[in-house]
Amino acid sequence: MIEGAGQLRVAELPKPEPRPGEVAVDIAYGGICGSDLHYFHDGAAGEFVIREPLVAGHEVVGRVGALGVGVTGLEPGQPVAVHPAQVCGECAECTGGRPQLCPSSRYLGSAAHFPHVQGGFTERLVVSADRAVPLPAGMTLRRAALAEPFTVAHHAVKRAGDIAGKSVLVTGAGPIGSLAVAAARQAGAGTIYASDLTDFALAQAKSMGADVLLRADQEDSWPEQVDVAIEASGSGPGLNSCIRTVRRAGRVVQVGILPPGMTAILGNALVNKELQLHGSWRFHTEFAEAIELLADEIDPEPLISHEFPLREALQAFRTAADRTAASKVLLRIGDDHEQAE
């Protein structure tokens, strides 16, 4: 539970039970995301400011613990990944095939609304039954713990269009950037470049399929142009690197969350190169598809650098903030780990 900038504690809360149409998931693993770190360090993630104690976490997996009345298709003990978003299903965005843009969307562990949407770093989480997505046979919960960040990356790559055979630059080789490398490779990209400021992160990108590693502070050694760029660093300099490097009429996809307020960009290059600049916001319908890819084609295990028990959550958050030595940090929650692995 995060109560403000630098204020994190493990708290005792009442055990929730599912209502009709809901399922209780006994959480086994939770992955610490960049937005969780922003809430911890800054008391805010982008424009979303903590106004009340917030249970963090939206990258969570576990096993069905209890079923509410009327729930079918799930069984107690069944391994599931939790879809973090609840959308209205009725607005223009939902009915138009863009539910990730639903203005009423409520995302686990988010301060976007008040009261906040409490998150998944908890021993038991209750959600609507349609958000508990069964895992393919043989897929471990540990592997599935990266389903949410991989789906974010997968959605961003899809926003880039058909990239088969094209050169792709990914700026920022943290977990999302490295998973974007994997998603681009699976989508048939040609040469994939990955940039970062740390050698540790670049090694992670290499493990996910990057062909060429670039230091973000040495752009004189970068390629003259690429077909597509995916900006995953969440920084103005990263976005401008993409704008400079993408060929004329190329496409830039911004998936990294930029700092609050204004970001200065190379606007004239955007104009005179006729670039296509696209935002990429979370995901929705691709979740089950991305889980299948993780189960069958993409191994995310090299990105898992640390695990901590829930009682050591503070140390886990501090470790996850060190990008020179940590990639994806998992919290072990509940008692199911031996069975899960």
* Tens-place pLDDT, residues 26-79: 999 999 999 999 999 999 988 899 999 999 999 999 999 999 999 999 999 999
Q: What number is the average pLDDT over the span 261-286? A: 96
Please say if the pLDDT value at position 293 is more than 60: yes
* Tens-place pLDDT, residues 133-145: 999 999 999 999 9
- In 185-303 the beta strands, taken as DSSP E runs, fall at 192-196, 212-215, 226-231, 246-254, 276-279
Residue in the structure block whose two tokens are 């903590």: 50
How does strand 106-107 pair with strand 132-134?
unpaired
Please say if the pLDDT value at position 337 is more than 90: no
**Nearest to 196, CA basis, from 223, 220, 214, 175:** 214
Give the span between the Cα atoms of 301 and 307, in whole angstroms: 12
Give the span between the Cα atoms of 144 and 89, in whole angstroms: 26
Q: What number is the average pLDDT over the span 104-125? A: 96
* Tens-place pLDDT, residues 82-99: 999 999 999 999 999 999
